[in-house]
Amino acid sequence: MRNLLFEISYRGTRYCGYQVQKNGITVAQVLQDAVEQVFPRREPIVGCSRTDSGVHANQYFFHMLTDSSIPCERAVFALNRYLPEDVAVLSCREVPQGFHARYDCVGKEYLYKIWNMPYKHPFEADLSYHYPYRMRVEKMEKAARDFLGTHDFRAFCSAGADAESTVRTITGISVERDGGHVIIRVSGDGFLYNMVRIMVGTLLYVNYGMPDTESVADIIRSGERTRAGHTVPAHGLYLNRVFYDVEKWSDLAEM
């Protein structure tokens, strides 16, 4: 039995998220359909993460156990032939049988793309969030530092989450201007339901509306969802990088 790990990228616009579900087409479903064309059996695939409806992925992994002897390079080529234009397989490698795309994930980096010009971006209607008001990037970045470290993030979690613990560790966060865009980048060991989108909404609240007497640290401490900012739209959010423990799985070192 071989365990194949595939690296993919997708534009989430047309999809009801990654995970297979009843209402509407999902990324997992079109992947599973392509797998059925290329492999002898409809081998079940295991994704590294759930992403919400409309969320994009610059990098995403799934693994699959198979008896097939197809070379990795040919599997990439063949799957891409059967996938729609908004889902691409970037690479494939054989990993130890015990490796699990989700359970072995030790961290992720998301980025949130804001188009910060008075007019809408004609090429990015579904690829960035249009926020036409003045953004004080330095002020936002300074406030964002409160997110760093290990905290109970229950104030940054939408209802409907089924996580047992709401404690997470944020290892990096930055707010940067890049021409007409402002890019917010967040990495951590894991994220609650809608957590990144509420964090970004809170930084926009810092930008415009939060009283000077309040801080992001206060909101985290309060544990109250109503004190954090609103949930910004899904279409600005990208899963950007997925991290595995390269000491444990040394064959993943170059990822």
Residue with tokens 């707010």, as numbered in its chain: 175
CB 133 to its own copies: min, Å = 13
Inter-residue contact 121 to 191 (CB < 8 Å): no
By CB under 8 A, the count of residues binding its own copies is: 21
Instruction: Scan residues 39-68 and list those touching its own copies (CB under 8 A).
Output: 56
In whole angstroms, give the CA distance from residue 253 to residue 22: 37
133 makes contact with its own copies (CB under 8 A): no
122 makes contact with its own copies (CB under 8 A): yes
Instruction: Scan residues 148-187 and list those touching its own copies (CB under 8 A).
Output: none
Rg (alpha carbons) of the chain, rounded to whole number: 19
Q: Pick the stretch among 15-23, 119-127, 154-162, 191-199 that binds its own copies (CB under 8 A).
A: 119-127
Q: Which residue, among 187, 208, 200, 5, has the nearest Cα to 109 in the 3D structure? A: 187
137 makes contact with its own copies (CB under 8 A): no
Binding residue for its own copies, selected from 4, 55, 75, 76, defined by CB under 8 A? 76
74 makes contact with its own copies (CB under 8 A): no
Q: Which residue, among 159, 243, 167, 237, has the nearest Cα to 196 in the 3D structure? A: 237
120 makes contact with its own copies (CB under 8 A): yes
CB neighbourhood size of 41 (10 A): 10
Q: Hey, which bits of the chain come out as E strands? A: 2-10, 46-47, 56-66, 87-95, 105-115, 129-130, 149-152, 167-178, 181-188, 237-244
88 makes contact with its own copies (CB under 8 A): yes
Binding residue for its own copies, selected from 118, 160, 179, 211, defined by CB under 8 A? 118
Catalytic residue flag (residue 52): yes
11 makes contact with its own copies (CB under 8 A): yes
User: In the complex with its own copies, which residue's Cβ is closer, 64 or 89?
Assistant: 89
Q: Pick the stretch among 4-12, 37-45, 141-149, 216-224 that binds its own copies (CB under 8 A).
A: 4-12
In whole angstroms, give the CA distance from residue 222 to residue 231: 18
In whole angstroms, give the CA distance from residue 234 to residue 130: 12
Catalytic residues: 52
**Site residues for its own copies per CB under 8 A:** 9-11, 56, 76-77, 80, 85-90, 118-123, 125, 127
